[in-house]
Amino acid sequence: MTTTDPSTPPTPRAPGTTGPPLGLLLARGALLSPFKRPRADAGHPRDRIVLPGLRVDLARLAAYERVCGFAPGDDGLPVTYPHVLGFPSAMRLMSRRDFPLPLLGLVHTSIDVTRHAALPATEPYDLAVHVEGLAPHRRGTEATVATALRSGGEVVWESRSTYLARHRTAGHVASPGAGRRGRGDADDVPLPVVDEWRLSGDVGRRYAAASGDRNPIHLHPLTARPFGFPRAIAHGMWTVARCLAARGTPAAVRVHAAFRAPVLLPGTVVFAADGDRFTLRGPGDDGRLHVSGRVERLPAPRTGG
Confidence at 26, pLDDT banded by 50, 70, 90? confident
Handedness of CA 173, 159, 270, 264 (dihedral sign): negative
| Spatial distance between the Cα atoms of 181 and 187, rounded to a whole number of angstroms | 9
Decide: 39 and 141 in contact? Cβ < 8 Å: yes
| DSSP character string of 37-72 | ---TTS----SEEEEEEE---HHHHHHHHHHHTPPT
Q: Check whether 194 has a pLDDT greater than 60.
A: yes
Report how far Cα 167 is from the mean position of its chain's Cα atoms.
Answer: 22
Q: What does pLDDT average to over the chain?
A: 87
pLDDT tens digits, one per residue of 223-276 = 999 888 999 999 999 999 999 999 999 999 999 999 999 999 999 999 999 999
- Which is nearest to 169 in space by CA: 38, 260, 42? 38
pLDDT, greater one: 181 or 145? 145
Decide: 29 and 95 in contact? Cβ < 8 Å: yes
User: What is the average per-residue pLDDT within 124-131?
Assistant: 98
pLDDT tens digits, one per residue of 37-76 = 888 999 999 999 999 999 999 999 999 999 999 998 788 9
- Which is nearest to 149 in space by CA: 104, 183, 114, 181? 114
- Which is nearest to 277 in space by CA: 195, 184, 196, 186? 186
User: What is the average per-residue pLDDT within 23-50?
Assistant: 90
Residue type, 79: V
pLDDT of residue 304: 53
| Spatial distance between the Cα atoms of 21 and 57, rounded to a whole number of angstroms | 16
pTM, whole model, 2 decimals? 0.86
Neighbour-count burial for 227-252, b at 16+ CB within 10 Å, e otherwise: eebebbbbbbbbbbbbbbbbbebeeb
Return the half-sphere exposure (C-beta side, CA atoms, 13 A cut-off) of residue 173. 4
